Amino acid sequence: MKPGKRRALRNKAAGRLRDRIEHLKVQVQARGEHAFPVIKRQFGYVKVRYRGLTKNTAQLHTLFALANIWMVRRQRLATG
């Protein structure tokens, strides 16, 4: 939902509920989308190489696993 429409609905009870739902959706989206810049910047996966569907899928699975490890590295280092 566009921010202006969200602001207009905020004063009503149903609007506050809708605003909360939109906020939760954005939180989920932000967590899911965070891996993509990591893959692009840290691992250089900017262009797709067409080497077959199986190889592309395997490479993407590996890159997403590495991105997950990369994103939690600070938490793991802090715990010792």
Q: Tell me the one-letter amino acid at 48.
A: V
pTM higher than 0.75 for the full model?
A: no
SS3 assignment for 6-73: HHHHCCCHHHHHHHHHHHHHHHHHHHHHCHHHHHHHHHCCCCCCCCCHHHHHHHHHHHHHHHHHHHCH
Domain boundaries, the chain: 3-79
CB 15 within 8 A of CB 23: no
Q: In the structure, what pLDDT confidence band is assigned to residue 53 with cuts at 50, 70 and 90?
A: confident
What is the share, in percent, of the chain residues with pLDDT greater than 70?
Answer: 98
Provide the sign of the torsion angle of the four alpha carbons 29, 32, 36, 37, taken in this order: positive
